[in-house]
Chains A and B, each alone.
Chain A
Amino acid sequence: MAQQKSTLKERANVAFQDDFLRKAVRFTADRLRGRKADSTGALGDWEEWRERGRAIRSHVIENLDYYLDQFIQNAEKRGIHVHFAKNTEDAIAISLKIAKDKNTKLIAKSKSMVSEEVHLNHYFEEQGIECLETDLGEWIVQLAHETPSHIIIPAIHKNRYQVQELFEKESGETLSSDTKVLAGYARRKLRQRFAEAEIGMTGCNFALAESGSVVLFSNEGNARMVTTLPKTHIVMMGMERIIPSWEDLEVMANLLPRSATGQKITVYMTALSGPRRAGEVDGPEDVHIIILDNGRSAILGDDEFQEVLNCIRCGACLNVCPVYRQVGGHTYGGTYSGPIGAVITPLLMEDKKQWGELAYASSLCGACHEACPVKIPLHDMLVHLRRRYVEAGFTPLSERMAYKGYAAGFKSVGAYKLAGKSARWVQLTVMGDEKEESALAKNTPMHGWTKYRTLPEPNKKAFRDRWADLAAEPPQAPRGPKPKKETE
């Protein structure tokens, strides 16, 4: 599939021209934040739960080869075919082979960001195989020929009127914009298709090493249809989805839904442990698991970034991110959006220059780290990514010169004083005064600032130049009630 060639700024500009999108993203993010706060409060010491989650995930990632091995052995014992895909090409080739062996014309899909990552639908459609997204949000996005703009709420950027329009176009029927009517239509339409699909394909929230089982959290029931009705089930999962045991699942089952949607638990939590056995009434006859590397193993052993593999894909960092809030998910250009996308996309993609600029899509406010249920220090990782971007020589010469100038001007006080004086002069003569942006300023990089804000008034006398007088002032007695120390 064609690589995203636009820049971060260009994509942000598209978002800025879409008021509907911006309103919808803010509205939903606010609701999720509110619900998360309520549901985590009910769990007692949320910080302790986060720490447990972090510990489990870090332990697994540190010993990933061991747990992967255990998972594969146990899954195979249960009659599951396990495949390992080094990259996108492998993942597509393996799934296409299974599809062709089964003579498939239709695959019903549910919950798989990883299949988005390898652009599976696109490659299958080229082969004349239809991949039907059955999660409501995913289906809406598919009908609109778009990509998901949120990790767990793919159609966060659409409102019900836009959905009504898409559904009417798809069905040729007249529908109302009532969400019940729209959901009802989706239900009717998708139900017919679950039964027609030869293959059901899902992602995987957690893979349990001790039993070789795959666990899915879902709300709509479609994942159950996809995993029980078609004769073949393919699971595509990132290699880091493993947790050791059922006991660990309890921690994750507390952390994930609360962080994602503010639910105490999702409507369905499905554990799948191999194909249908003799005497069982439903379930697939054949189960394949494709474990995808696609750049993940390169992050293993990298002190600065390994913890990013702890991510449980809840989207909590998106919901609190002030940048995501303003521009939505498509601005990030890749499969994963928000702060986690800004970190993981540059790590996973080969073109570090093109994707590395995502690390700048943050004011480094740290809200993502605070929200993360497994405490990934995303804000620190963004700084590390920027450092690598600079070290790789990807930043423009003008910027490199500017920071060289900064270092020269600030590494000793002599140069600093001179820099301070010339900065004042530049501001007064070039940038214009604090009220008006000068015509000249509009053509400098400072325009990014002055377009939205005035500049502070340059002071005639810096603090350091006032120090001598200040030091000579007699001390004043404290006013009001005396400080605690003296009254004790």
Chain B
Amino acid sequence: MRVTLFITCLVDQFFPNVGVSMVRLLRRYGCEVSFPQSQTCCGQPAFNSGYVREAREVALNQLNAFEGAEYVVSPSGSCSGMVHHYYHELFADDPRLAARADALAAKTYEFSQFLVNVLGVTDVGAVCPHTVTYHPACHGSRILGIKNEPMALLQHVEGITLLPLPKAEDCCGFGGAFSVKLGDISGAMVNEKVDHITETDADFLVSGDMGCLMNMGGQMKKRGLKTEPLHLAEFLYRFSS
């Protein structure tokens, strides 16, 4: 199976280990993995802020980068969600580009979706004698409808103690530019989220989007919490190798 990596700009620049973990996991299951160097960003930062022209320029580069791919897999529900939910709208006034956007959306998967629904893997053979709590990132769960896949993967980890996160479905307050533009409101949101994480006292906080993890992790670090934020791919790889 040919998999083309859609490494988000955040993972590329700040959290390369997430990408590395994902590649190694996918290759274990026989995927032939490639990484087009021409890719940059999905365009979401501009799109969500209302700068559609700017988002389109960036998204066009992505359309070109993934042309000819069989499966496109990304360690982000938010960036995959952008492709699925908004690329069509972004190119709606050009039928040829809109068709290419639809084709890309049809073959784009978030990491846990691809692993569970396409490869049929729920048990990666990981062993983790620790406590873990899971935050379902909003765009993955609400835009892409990822509900059970990450939990299925975690439940198959041997020795794991999964601790429910109170109000897990509440947004962590990231929201891209929102976290800078309305910093105090976003700060209050992440504050409440980290209160709930503290309540669980888990060793690891696992989620599927580095934006959310960077937000929650940033405040956890400020508070000096021992809970380590970790992307699902990195978590599964670390405890299965």
A contact set with B: CB distance below 8 Å = 8-9, 12-13, 16, 322-323, 325-327, 360-367, 369-370, 383, 385-391, 395, 399-400, 403-404, 406-407, 410-413, 416, 420, 423-424, 434-435, 445-449, 451-459, 461-464, 466-467, 470-471, 473, 475-481, 483-485
Give Cα A136 to B122, complex, Å: 54
Task: Tell which of A325, A456, A485 touches B218, judged by Cβ atoms closer than 8 Å.
Answer: A456
Given known contacts A362-B175, A410-B9, A484-B120, A12 and B185 CB-to-CB distance under 8 angstroms:
yes
User: Which chain B positions have C-beta within 8 A of A9?
Assistant: 182, 184
User: Which chain A positions have C-beta within 8 A of B192?
Assistant: 322, 325-326
- Please determine whether A455 and B54 come into contact, CB atoms closer than 8 angstroms: no
- Please determine whether B178 and A363 come into contact, CB atoms closer than 8 angstroms: yes
User: Which chain B positions have C-beta within 8 A of A365?
Assistant: 138-139, 142, 170-171, 175
Contacting residues of chain B (34-49) with chain A, CB-CB under 8 angstroms:
35, 37-41, 43, 45-49
- Please determine whether A463 and B7 come into contact, CB atoms closer than 8 angstroms: yes
- Please determine whether A453 and B58 come into contact, CB atoms closer than 8 angstroms: no
Which residue from chain B places its CB closest to the CB of A478 in the assembled complex?
B28
Give Cα A451 to B121, complex, Å: 41
B contact set with A: CB distance below 8 Å = 7, 9, 11-16, 19-20, 23-24, 27-30, 33, 35, 37-41, 43, 45-55, 57-58, 60-61, 86, 119-126, 138-139, 142-143, 158, 169-171, 173-176, 178-192, 214-215, 217-219, 221-222, 240-241
Give Cα A453 to B183, complex, Å: 10
Min Cβ gap B16→A in Å is: 4
- Please determine whether A483 and B182 come into contact, CB atoms closer than 8 angstroms: no
User: Which chain A positions have C-beta within 8 A of B171?
Assistant: 322, 363, 365, 367
User: Which chain B positions have C-beta within 8 A of A367?
Assistant: 138, 142, 169-171
Task: Tell which of B19, B51, B58, B173 touches A411, judged by Cβ atoms closer than 8 Å.
Answer: B58
Give Cα A424 to B9, complex, Å: 13
Q: Is the interface of B mostly helix, strand, loop or mixed?
A: helix
Residue of A9, A366, A435, A445 with most partner-chain B CB within 10 A:
A366
Given known contacts A452-B183, A479-B125, A366 and B35 CB-to-CB distance under 8 angstroms:
no
Give Cα A12 to B184, complex, Å: 8
Min Cβ gap B221→A in Å is: 5
User: Which chain A positions have C-beta within 8 A of B126?
Assistant: 479-480
User: Which chain A positions have C-beta within 8 A of B191?
Assistant: 452
User: Which chain A positions have C-beta within 8 A of B120?
Assistant: 483-485
Q: Given A367-B142, A410-B43, 12 more contacts at CB 8 Å?
A: A12-B184, A16-B188, A326-B192, A386-B50, A407-B46, A411-B60, A448-B179, A452-B186, A463-B19, A478-B124, A483-B29, A484-B122
Min Cβ gap B185→A in Å is: 6
Give Cα A463 to B9, complex, Å: 9
- Please determine whether A406 and B185 come into contact, CB atoms closer than 8 angstroms: no
Could you name 10 residue pairs across A and B whose Cβ atoms are closer than 8 Å? A364-B48, A365-B171, A367-B170, A434-B221, A448-B179, A452-B183, A454-B221, A475-B28, A484-B122, A485-B119
User: Which chain A positions have C-beta within 8 A of B187?
Assistant: 448, 451-453
- Please determine whether A470 and B185 come into contact, CB atoms closer than 8 angstroms: no
User: Which chain A positions have C-beta within 8 A of B240?
Assistant: 479-480
Task: Tell which of B29, B35, B41, B48 touches A471, judged by Cβ atoms closer than 8 Å.
Answer: B35
Which residue from chain B places its CB closest to the CB of A423 in the assembled complex?
B13
User: Which chain B positions have C-beta within 8 A of A477?
Assistant: 28
Task: Tell which of B9, B57, B180 touches A407, judged by Cβ atoms closer than 8 Å.
Answer: B57
- Please determine whether B182 and A12 come into contact, CB atoms closer than 8 angstroms: yes
User: Which chain B positions have C-beta within 8 A of A484?
Assistant: 120-122
Residue of A365, A391, A466 with most partner-chain B CB within 10 A:
A365
